[in-house]
Structure 1
Amino acid sequence: MARGKAPRRTIESYTPRQINTTIKPGDCVLMRPAERSNPQYVARIEWIEADVRGGNVKVHVRWYYRPEESVGGRRQFHGSKEVFLSDHYDLQSVDTIEGKCTVHSFKSYTKLDAVGNEDYFCRFEYNSCTGAFNPDRVAVYCKCEMPYNPDDLMVQCEGCSDWFHPACIEMTAEEAKTLDHFFCETCLPQGQKKLQNSHTTSRHSGGYKTATTEVKKMHKPSVI
């Protein structure tokens, strides 16, 4: 007579000995990749189960995908710590967990004073079967009309409040960081535009330095 499947039960939390930190449903974790040369997988714990004796612990997880793992791959606006919450669920041994991490919302990530090794952010859900993203529209910025990459420096125009990459307005990052005020070409007063055209080399000490320019990484809502 075939043996029946051993009964299992859901547990509220567990402390894997390899990380000595308690995990619970809702936590995000780093998991051992199949190839050690690859980056760790990022997953969200949905629930934890064990056998009746409390052993053979497994975690039901929902995977986060990196841009490289999605249809279309990594694009210019994807941040280095960006992940997508997928519809891919799995059952894994708790022994594959190598640490806890935090997956921030896009907004909260951009407000971090410092980004740690365990900090990630998510602004999309990803359908692993169709390759579709939700939302399917994202913010765009600058003259180049690219979505925002929080790794990139941008400066804000004091007139229209739009954000610009220094390279797109013919500045170096070092020059952008020294600005006191900034107005884009559209918002710059006509007289100062003429001055700028006549004295290109003094652009940063003339028409472009006119009020305190914000130079930071920030999200501005608009759509593609």
Structure 2
Amino acid sequence: MKYSHWIKKARKTKDRLKKESPESSTITKKQISKDSSISIRELYKTQKWENLIKIAKQSKGLFEEYDCIKVQKKVIKLGESVLINSGDAHDEDYIGTIKQIISIKEPTTLKLICLCRVQWYMRKSEVIKSHPKSNEWVSEQELFKTKHEDYILAQTVIHSCQIFSCKEYVDLDEIESTVYFNRLSWDMEKKQFQGLETIQKFCSCQQPVNPDRKYVQCDSCHQWYHLECVGLQEGELNDSEFFCKLCL
């Protein structure tokens, strides 16, 4: 790269440095700054964040890392889970956990490019494409953790959200739209759930619990059943006892 060429040009022997005038040394430094500035601008336009970070780390004073940052009146903290603008092409916003917060200074304008490294979660709408039958037991507020990470512009973060365990989620008195739960991981390469075999199954249909659906408990064996699986409707529930077919 042209940037590397100028770095090599600056590494001269002591004899060459003695002959070099202060003016020529200044010109070399300015050229390095100019080339890195051009590279940063071009990489920003093409959103090649990994390459942009590598370039910034090569020049002193261009790269900074933070635990917390304020961008467009929004405070972003390391380790928090956030909603991320997915653009006009998607109905749902993305969700991820902030793993790193950095800024890169554009050398000529001194403007900061703020980036966040995010570990992604998958939504129900994304996983049921590969596993349509999971639609019955996956909640609308359920998320699936992945190992996939990307850099995003900090300005695309909308606001923070909360992610609980399934047990914590079920025990909540009120559930807002920015409250989610996670109990499984998702393998993005194999497009399959991880840990599904470890989750307790309920009802005669043997599915993981779905907090969105209604259940009734057998007064004898204390097992939980979907209303539709035992032929009941929500309006039919009362204080009378219920016994499943196995206990009748």
- For the aligned pair, the TM-score class normalised by the smaller chain equals 0.7 to 0.9
Task: Tell me, in whole angstroms, the C-alpha distance in 2 between the residues paired with 1:16 and 1:120.
Answer: 24
Cα offsets for 1:127-165 (capped at 9, x unmatched): 101123220313221122222111011111232120011
Residues 84-103 of structure 1 aligned to structure 2 (within 5 Å) = 84-103=144-163
The one-letter amino acid paired with 1:26 is G
- Bigger fraction of residues in helix: 2
- Give the TM-score, by structure 2 length: 0.68
CA contact (8 A) 1:45 1:59 kept: yes
% same residue:
26
- Give the TM-score, by structure 1 length: 0.75
The structure having more radius of gyration, on CA atoms, is 2
Cα RMSD, aligned residues only: 2.0
Task: Tell me, in whole angstroms, the C-alpha distance in 1 between the residues paired with 2:204 and 2:192.
Answer: 27
CA contact (8 A) 2:217 2:224 kept: yes
Shift of 1:47: 1.1
Work out which structure has the larger RCO, using CA pairs closer than 8 Å and 6 or more positions apart in sequence.
1
- What are the ranges of 5 or more consecutive residues in structure 1 without an aligned counterpart? 189-224
Match of 1:203 in 2: none
Match of 2:112 in 1: 55
More deviation, 28-37/121-130: 28-37
One of 152, 155, 172 as aligned partner of 1:112: 172
Confirm or deny that 1:164 pairs with 2:225.
yes
Match of 2:59 in 1: none
Task: Tell me, in whole angstroms, the C-alpha distance in 2 between the residues paired with 1:105 and 1:26.
Answer: 16
- What are the ranges of 5 or more consecutive residues in structure 2 without an aligned counterpart? 4-34, 37-54, 57-61
Match of 2:125 in 1: 68
Match of 1:152 in 2: 213
SS state at 1:14 partner: strand
